[in-house]
A and B are shown apart, each in its own frame.
Chain A
Amino acid sequence: MSSATPARPLTQPAVSPRMVWAVLAVVAVLLLLAYLVAFDQGAVSRSGMYLHELMHDGRHLLGVPCH
Chain B
Amino acid sequence: MPTFTSVLLRGLLAGLIAGLLAGAFAHVTGGPRVEAAIAIEEQAVHADPATGDDHHAEELVSREGQRAGLFLATGLFGVAMGGLLSIAYALLRRRLRIRHDAHAALALAGAALLGAVIVPFGKYPANPPAVGNPDTINQRTGSYLAMVILGLVAVWAGALAYRSMRAGAPQWSRCAAAVAGFLATVAVGYRALPSFNEVPANFPAGLLWDFRLASLGTQLVLWAGVGLAFAALLQRGQAKAAGSEPSPEATVPARA
A interface residues, Cβ below 8 angstroms from B: 1, 3, 5, 7-15, 19, 23, 26-27, 30-31, 33-34, 36-39, 48-50, 53-67
B79 CB-CB contact with A under 8 Å: yes
Contact B214 A61 (CB under 8 A): yes
Given A23-B87, A37-B77: A58 and B72 within 8 A (CB)? yes
Q: State the main secondary structure of chain B at its contact with A.
A: helix
Partner-contacting stretch, out of B123-131, B151-159, B164-172, B178-186? B123-131
Partner-A contacts on B (CB < 8 A): 1-4, 6-8, 23, 26, 30-31, 34, 53, 55, 60-61, 65-67, 69-74, 76-77, 79-81, 83-84, 87, 90-91, 93-94, 99-101, 117, 120-121, 124-129, 132, 134, 137, 140-141, 144-145, 211, 214-216, 218-219, 222, 234, 237-238, 241-243, 245, 247-248
Give the CA-CA distance A54 to B128 in the complex, in Å. 16
Contact of B137 among A1, A5, A34, A67 (CB under 8 A): A67
Minimum CB–CB distance for A24 against chain B, Å: 10
Selected A-B contacts with CB under 8 Å, 8 pairs: A34-B80, A49-B60, A60-B215, A62-B126, A63-B121, A63-B125, A65-B124, A65-B141
With a cutoff of 8 Å between Cβ atoms, the chain A residues found around residue B34 in the complex are 57, 60-61
Given contacts A60-B126, A63-B121, A67-B134, contact A10 B93 (CB under 8 A): yes
Given A34-B77, A54-B69, A60-B34, A65 and B87 contact (CB-CB distance below 8 Å): no
Question: B215 touching A13 by the CB < 8 A rule?
Answer: no
